[in-house]
Amino acid sequence: MKLPEWRPTAPVQRLNLYWLANAGVEVAVLRLDLIDQQVSGNKWFKLAPYIEAAARQGAQGLISLGGAHSNHLHALAAAGNRFGFQTVGLLRGNPQLTPTSAELEQLSMELHWLGYGGYRGRNLPGFWQPWRSRYPQLLPVPEGGGGLLGAQGCQLLVEMVRSQLDQLDWPDYHAWWLAVGTGTTLAGLVLAEAGAHPVYGALAVPARHGAQLQISSVLTQAQQADQGYRLLDAARGGFAKVDTLLLDFMQACEAESEMLFEPLYTAKALLALREQVEQGAFPRGTRLIFVHTGGLQGRAAALAKGL
């Protein structure tokens, strides 16, 4: 496989919401959702180092894991289809047709459904052995594009923002705010910031999913102190749990800001931010960077699930 020459960038745009204005807090959104219609959000930045590694090793493609609505697998399949490399997806649960799984097949990704018990074994020693034997030509990628390589791919987001501060008329920013699943993007920001600015992560999944452990592991591998960030609970009862309050809030923010969000990650992060702002966690004059991590390809299915 050849190394793609694509190097996308994303704009930074002000977020205009009444509750931010009332609190005197300024927020600018890093619009990773706008980099591409298919290879969207933070997913490309986590995948890019794995694609580079696969090309260096002479692999023919990548194999990874995710659920039936996985934004990660969708981005991987779209990248493989566009840049001409093989992709295989190992999916959680039993065979089911969702808009995402249908599109994965349309994008030429080969799918294997592991059941729920089989998928739970993804972190056990030896999980990858049979798949390496079956697909020796493919490079395995951790769930969600996690690990040190994925985090390193997200480090460039810091410079992407800093290069656009003049357009915001900001001398600097005070902190980052983003939704957290595996914690890979947050770890990348922490690595790049090296203590210069704190990073706040709104946990869109329960703590038992292990984001804290994964972040700590990445920072340890990078020989960086396990600090410079704070995790807050924003799961609202569990992974992919959607409620009326969240949906009403998301739709109100979309109408006011003219930006689209999705209820599983970005809307949960935004609601958690409002709670912190209204509790006085940030003094007037605070400037925050909110990372829009994408995920809009699964928005319709997530909304239908919540109604």
Catalytic residue among 70, 101, 217, 257: 70
Any residues with CB less than 8 A from the CB of 97 and at least 6 apart, and which?
Answer: none
**Cα→Cα distances 227→199, 209, 211, 231, Å:** 10, 20, 14, 11
Any residues with CB less than 8 A from the CB of 73 and at least 6 apart, and which?
Answer: 64, 65, 66, 89, 91, 100, 104, 109
Q: Is 64 a catalytic residue?
A: no
Residues identified as active-site: 70
